[in-house]
Amino acid sequence: MSRSDVLVDADWVEAHHGDDGVVIVEVDEDTSAYDKGHIRDAVKIDWKADLQDPVRRDFVDKAGFEALLSARGIANDDTVVLYGGNNNWFAAYAYWYFRLYGHQNVKLLDGGRKKWELESREIVTDVPRRPATSYQAAEQDASIRAFRDEVLSAIGQRNLVDVRSPDEFAGRLLAPAHLPQEQAQRGGHIPTAKNVPWSKAAEEDGTFKSDDALRALYRDEAGLDFGRDTIAYCRIGERSAHTWFVLHELLGQQNVKNYDGSWTEYGSLVGVPIEVGDGK
Amino acid sequence: MSDDGCGAPRGGAAVPAGAAGSQAIVQGRVTQNGSAVPTGYARLLNSGGDFVAEVPLGEDGGFRFFAAPGTWRLRVLAPGGVRAERSVSADIGQVTELEVAV
C-alpha cells in the first residue's frame, strides 16, 4: 500500500470523474453542502442517515450497507473516490467503513472539498443517475475496529492516540471549538494516550503531509512505538478515522484500529480511569 | 449525551437556547469590498499558532466558534489565495464580534 494507491488529487478527479468503473462520492454529516453544489458526477452519502443505525448506536449492518451501495449504483469492482468537508473527516470515516465491509478499491481525494473550493474548481448541482447494482459486502473486518473493552485492556499496553485538540484532551473543552460545549460526559482522556491532534497530519489546505513529515510527527515527536499495535480515538470516531488512514494506509502500520465509540462512549462509562490535564 | 457528529456547519453552529451565558463565543463575518465572502474558511488557532477549529463560511460570510476563555488567532482562507489573520479574545458569557475585511 502506498500513497498513490489510496489518494488521488483534484486533477485526477477532473480527468476521470465520468469514467466507467469510477464513482465519486461526497460524504458529510451536513449534506446541504452537496445539495448546493458538488463535483460533477458525484453521488452523496449522508454520514448519519446512511451510515448509522437509526435506533442503536452502531453502523448499518451488512445488509444495510449492501442496500445503500446498490441504490447509489456502486458495484463491487468500482473505484470509489471519497471526498467531503471538514478536512475529509467524514470521507476518511467512510473510507474506513468501506474497508470494514471489504471494498477493495477505495481512495480519498487529497484536500477534499476545501482544496477544491479554494482552487475555484467546477461545482455543479446536477445529480447523477446511476443504475442500481447488486452490491455484496463482506463481513465486518474486526482487525480495524476497536470496542471499549479492548481499549480498556490497551491502557499502558498499546499505543493509544487521542487525536482531539489539546483543549479537549486536557478536559477544558468537551467538543471541538466550533460546537457548543454542552455535553454530559466527563472531560479528559484515556490514561497513557498520546495527544496527536488530527490537524497536525494535514496542511492548511486539507491535504495530507508527506510520509516523512508524518513519520516524524508520530514516531519522533509523539513517541509512538511503531512496533506496537495502535488504537486511535477522538469524540465520535471520524477525526480518528483520519488518523487511522494516516497510520494504516499512508504509513503502512499494521494493527491499527479506530475506536468509533471514542470519547462520547468512554467519557460516559462508569468506573473507568480518566486522566485530565495537558499531554506530557 | 449526543452521539451526533462533530462536523462544522456552514457559518458555525447555532447558539443553543439559554446557553449563551455559559459559552465563550467568537463570531463574525468576512467581507470583501463590503460584500459577504460566502466561500472560504475561518480557522481558530491558539496563541501558539496551533490549529483549534475550522468552519466553512456561511452564505453571509459568517462564522462562529465556542472557544475556551483566552486569546486566540482567527485566520481566514478564501479562493484566490486570500488570507487574513486577526487576534481575538474570548470569555465565558461574552460574545466577541469581529468583521474581517479581506
Residue B8 lies in a domain: no
User: Can you give the residue range of the structural domain that contains B90?
Assistant: 22-101
Residue B89 lies in a domain: yes
ipTM: 0.89
Contacts of B91 in chain A (CB under 8 A): none
Tell me which residues of chain A, numbers 125 to 164, contact chain B at a CB-CB cutoff of 8 Å: none
> pLDDT tens-digit profile of A33-51?
899 999 999 999 999 999 9
> pLDDT tens-digit profile of A258-267?
999 999 999 9
Number of structural domains chain B divides into: 1
Residue B6 lies in a domain: no
> pLDDT tens-digit profile of A83-133?
999 999 999 999 999 999 999 999 999 999 999 999 999 999 999 999 999
Task: Quote the CA–CA distance of B4 and A80 in Å, as a whole number.
Answer: 25
**For this structure, is A103 an active site residue?**
no
Task: Quote the CA–CA distance of A88 and A94 in Å, as a whole number.
Answer: 10
For each of the domains in chain A, give its residue range(s) and CATH number, in order of start: 3-140 (3.40.250.10), 143-266 (3.40.250.10)
Residue A8 scores a pLDDT above 90: yes
Task: Quote the CA–CA distance of A74 and A80 in Å, as a whole number.
Answer: 8
Tell me which residues of chain A, numbers 15 to 74, contact chain B at a CB-CB cutoff of 8 Å: 28-30, 32-33, 47-48, 57
> Which one of A234, A246, A247, A251 is the catalytic residue?
A234
**DSSP-H helix ranges across chain A:** 3-6, 10-16, 32-36, 62-71, 89-100, 112-118, 148-154, 166-170, 211-215, 239-244, 262-266
Q: What percent of chain A has pLDDT over 90?
A: 89
> pLDDT tens-digit profile of A233-280?
999 999 999 999 999 999 999 999 999 999 999 999 999 999 999 976
Residue pair A257/A140 in contact (Cβ under 8 Å)? The answer is no
Candidates A45, A179, A195, A242, partner chain B, best to mutate (most B CBs within 10 A): A179
Say whether B56 and A33 touch across the interface (CB within 8 A): yes
- Which are the contacts of A150, defined by CB distance < 8 A and separation ≥ 6? A231, A257
Range list of β-strands (E), A43-144? 43-46, 79-83, 106-109
Q: C-alpha dihedral over A145, A149, A151, A154, to 10 degrees?
A: -120
Interface of B with A (CB under 8 A): 1-10, 12-13, 15-16, 19, 22-23, 39-41, 43-44, 46, 50-56, 64-68, 77-80
Predicted confidence band at B1 (pLDDT cuts at 50, 70, 90)?
very low
> pLDDT tens-digit profile of A177-227?
888 776 667 899 999 999 999 999 999 999 999 999 999 999 999 999 999
Domain with B68 in it: what CATH number? 2.60.40.10
Say whether A177 and B65 touch across the interface (CB within 8 A): yes
